[in-house]
Amino acid sequence: MSSMRYPFLDLGRVNAPYAGELHEAALRVIDSGRYVGGPEVESFERELAANTGVLYAVGVSNGLDAMRLIFRAYMELGRLRPGDGVIVPANTYIASVLAVTDCGLEPVFVEPNERTLNLDTSLVEQALNDNVKAVLTVHLYGRPCYDGVLADVARRHNLIIVEDNAQAIGADSPVPSPGDTFRTGSLGDAAAFSFYPTKNAGALGDAGAVTTRDAELAKAVRALANYGSDTRYHNIYEGFNCRLDPIQAAFLRVKLRHLDEETARRRRIASVYDGNISNPLVIKPMIDAPDGSVWHQYVVRCACRDEFRRYLSENGVGTDIHYAVPPHLQSCYARYSGLSLPVTDRLAAEVVSLPVSSCTSAEDALEISQIINDFRK
Ligand SMILES: *Cc1c(COP(=O)(O)O)cnc(C)c1O
């Protein structure tokens, strides 16, 4: 991949500009004598909460655990019960669905909107049944999946809104939440973040976080992630060990300081692609005005995907597919394989992710656009 003239992603190159700050952060933790919890994790949590515009952030082990802990905490607090339904977008990364089923909750798959590739919020109300108590909204590819329709249906039916914010740290919704916030991670009742190395704010290993305005939920998540213990040697839940390591917290404090530059850079690349790709065989993602997406991926669609990707590869452009097999067609979810989700199935056959990481300059994006325009010309 990295032998490509335009690599899709090269994490060594992504982190190289921060090497000095990352070394300093690692040394600080090594010298601190504090290797679980402590001031580095607490500072990161404060900084993430401030960046998100919520009162509470809890550092955890990864994005999947962040979501599992949110659902588990709602169950411990009696606000969700085993077997309750959760609306999930059919077009998502499988981790979103794994979190739901791991907690004994029942995913109710809803098709995406073809323009946003996100959950089609206008289909949520008709998908509800008496069992459904929550919506997991996924800000896929960095585009906020939140609007007045979703807020309204959640309010009228008393649904908990959980955000899968793994791909959208720093994104802003086009409409405010009832709490008058715009930033993803503050729009619903609780949100899960992932800092997997390829994400917009990547750790140097696995890491995640939960954000919420709800003090009781934050407390339950924190206890569940620490063996179910609220005070030392007192266990109020049958919990787990899902804590954030201080060394990752220290690295993430560096990444958080540079997040706005990274978001601006990704928006610039997206706007270069948007302004220059003009091949009728390639459908571009729409761009909102103002652009609140953080472009974790820039995903185009092409009906002749295999040929398109081969052509791009031959011309030095690395691409990827997010995602080739939707959750309901994975073999672990054979029980959902009979569902009819034609939009999701078609997207899975057509999507192609173009390079948008910090290995890609605006000039590269212009050259890649020209290569795309020459496809089958
Ligand atoms: C990455 C990702 C996750 C899982 O996060 P991990 O930290 O890898 O566990 C969940 N949902 C989405 C949409 C993701 O992109």
Best residue for ligand 1 mutational test, from 194, 195, 321 (most atoms within 8 Å of Cβ):
194
Confidence of residue 1 (pLDDT cuts 50, 70, 90): very low
Average pLDDT over residues 37-64: 98
Distances (CA, A) of 264 to 47, 49, 218: 20, 21, 31
Please report the atom of ligand 1 found closest to the CA of residue 95. Answer: 10
pLDDT, residue 136, reads: 98
What is the pLDDT confidence band of residue 294, given thresholds at 50, 70 and 90? very high
Distance 194 CA to ligand 1 centre (A): 6
278 neighbors 373 (Cβ within 8 angstroms)? yes
What is the per-residue pLDDT across 253-273, written as a single tens digit (0 to 9) for each? 999 999 999 999 999 999 999
Question: How confident is the model over 166-198, as pLDDT tens digits?
Answer: 999 999 999 999 999 999 999 999 999 999 999
Nearest CA residue ID for atom 10, ligand 1: 95
Residues with Cβ within 8 Å of 78's Cβ and at least 6 positions away in sequence, in order, are none
How remote is the CA of residue 112 from the centroid of ligand 1, in Å?
18
Q: Is the pLDDT of residue 2 over 60?
A: no
CA-to-CA separations, 283 to 103, 235, 298, 302, 353, in angstroms, rounded: 37, 53, 11, 6, 12
Nearest CA to ligand 1 atom 6: 63
Q: Which atom of ligand 1 is nearest to the CA of 64?
A: 9
pLDDT in tens, 295-324: 999 999 999 999 999 999 999 999 999 999
Mean pLDDT for 114-128 is 97
Number of alpha helices (DSSP H) and beta strands (DSSP E) in the chain = 13, 11
Give residue 72's pLDDT band: very low, low, confident or very high (50, 70, 90): very high
Cα 205 to middle of ligand 1, angstroms:
13
- Which CA distances in Å does 9 have to 72, 136, 199, 270, 366? 34, 28, 11, 16, 17
Atom index in ligand 1 nearest the CA of residue 194 equals 7
Average pLDDT value for residue range 43-52: 98
| Contact in structure between 253 and 43 (CB atoms under 8 Å) | yes
Measured in Å, how far apart are the chain's first and last C-alpha atoms? Answer: 26
What whole-number distance in Å separates Cα of residue 155 and Cα of residue 178? Answer: 9
**What's residue 207's pLDDT?**
98
**Residue with more model confidence, 25 or 377:** 25
Q: Using pLDDT thresholds of 50, 70 and 90, give the confidence band for residue 377.
A: confident
Question: Burial level of 181, CB count in 10 A (0-12/13-18/19+)?
Answer: middle
- In the block, tokens 């990752």 appear at 248
- Closest CA to ligand 1's atom 2: 166
Mean pLDDT of 73-97: 98
316-360 pLDDT, tens digit each: 999 999 999 999 999 999 999 999 999 999 999 999 999 999 999
Which residue's CA is the closest to the ligand 1 atom numbered 12? Answer: 166
Ligand 1 binding residues, C-beta < 6 A: 62-64, 92-93, 95-96, 138, 164, 166-167, 194, 196, 206, 208
CA of 202 to the centre of ligand 1 (A): 12
Atom of ligand 1 nearest to the CA of 67: 10
SS3 content of the chain, % helix, strand, coil (to 5): 40, 15, 40
Sorting pLDDT into bands at 50, 70 and 90, what band is 248?
A: very high
pLDDT of residue 103: 97
The percentage of residues in the chain with a pLDDT greater than 70, rounded to a whole number, is 99
Judge whether 197 and 205 are in contact, CB under 8 Å.
Answer: yes
Of 3 and 370, the one with more pLDDT: 370
Mutation pick for ligand 1 pocket among 71, 164, 252, 321 (CB with most ligand atoms within 8 Å): 164
Work out which ligand 1 atom sits closest to the CA atom of 199.
1
Distance CA 20, CA 355 (A): 26
CA dist 259 and 63 (Å) reads 18
User: Average model confidence (pLDDT) for the chain?
Assistant: 97
What's the mean pLDDT in 215-236? Answer: 96
Alpha helices in 5-147 (DSSP H): 11-15, 19-32, 39-52, 63-76, 94-102, 124-127
Q: Is the pTM of this model over 0.95?
A: yes
* In contact, 51 and 212? CB cutoff 8 Å: no
Ligand 1 atom nearest residue 198's Cα: 1
Q: Which atom of ligand 1 is nearest to the CA of 62?
A: 7
- In this prediction, residue 3 carries a pLDDT of 78
